[in-house]
Amino acid sequence: MLKIMEIIGLIILRLLSTVIALVVLAGLLYRRWRNGKDYFAVKPRPTPPSLISDEKWGTHKYMHLKKQGIRLHYVEKGNSNNPLILCLHGFPECWFSWRHQLENLSDKYWVVAVDMRGYADSDKPSAKSAYDITLLVEDIKEFILALGKSDQDKCVVMAHDWGGAIAWQLVMKYPELFHSHISCNGPHPVAFMKVMRKSWKQALMSWYMVFFQTPYIPELSISVNDLEMFNKSFRGEHNKEAFPDDVMEVYKYYFSQKGALTPPINYYRNIDFGRGTENIPVVTVPTLIIWGSKDAYLSKEMAILAGAECETSVVKYIDSATHWVQQDEPQQVNRFIREYLASKSL
């Protein structure tokens, strides 16, 4: 009976994603008709913006992961003899999302912001299956060990959005590697499913996850009008101060490159919507949850529910911040991080 219900659920998901995709496509074609043929054009950006190479963010490096067979790009700042804070970004982002933490926290910590596989200057395998979460978790485990950290020299993992989803899996599967865990608007699997099952509002907020199950159209919808989605998503209606034009150009540069859109969307295409939450262990790594209350994609209730899945947790809301909390309110986020790690004697 359970297998039959899973099949029915999968069929409903496919039908719903197809309906959403057709509605989106109709809207795109209408706007193409209204705006002209350039509506689907993305401006060529062959040269990286100068902001990417600004030394205040740190040093650009690459790491080849032998077991995983992939090369990851990362930016590091600080003394490598200091405690490691490893930063994992979300969608649609890159290492640059942690620029404020690289600059501010590197006086006391070795801060490393990595481009996840499929993003920015990291390798981009072509197969959809290459973005299964089990592979993403193993990427980061091997990356940590390759940096020279082990269970004798534990690190801090700090993550946001999709990086947050991966970090929750990391601290559950490999707790021995981590001194602390900092989650910035990152969905814990149990908390996410609890809210989804009882909240139509969250279901509507998560519509894009269903939409992203379809081929081609999600990529097209993101690319239209020279990647205008980035402005709408990051800035919203009132957030231009945190995301000025030069910052937006960094994201648009990375995502305007050939083949840059499909790998990040493949993270969503590998979501197992039928996965249960019964066997998910309690998080034993001490956890700080920082949550922007104005998140348009994830309910603020998820923060408290995620904390309940941890043996030890602290939840900090920032009412003025959106989903992009560490970029919206970097000073407040950095203060929370310093205070929390100091309380843990790191």
Active site residue 323: yes
**Of these residues, 74, 179, 323, 340, which one is catalytic?**
323
The dihedral region occupied by 318, where left means phi > 0, alpha psi between -120 and 50, and beta the remainder, is: beta
**Of these residues, 121, 161, 295, 328, which one is catalytic?**
161
Active site residue 161: yes
Cβ–Cβ under 8 Å, residues 234 and 324: yes
From 142, 90, 87, select the one nearest 111 (Cα to Cα): 87
Residue with tokens 């481009």: 115
Q: What span, in angstroms and rounded, lies between the C-alpha atoms of 90 and 269?
A: 15
Instruction: Please state the three-class secondary structure of 75-106 as a single string.
Output: EEECCCCCCEEEEECCCCCCHHHHHHHHHHHC
Phi then psi dihedrals of residue 156, to 5 deg: -105, 130
**Of these residues, 39, 208, 268, 317, which one is catalytic?**
268
From 130, 155, 149, select the one nearest 63 (Cα to Cα): 149
Q: What span, in angstroms and rounded, lies between the C-alpha atoms of 61 and 114?
A: 9
From 125, 144, 180, select the one nearest 63 (Cα to Cα): 144
Distance of CA 249 to the CA centre of its chain: 19
**Strand, helix or coil for residue 183:** strand
Catalytic residues: 161, 268, 323
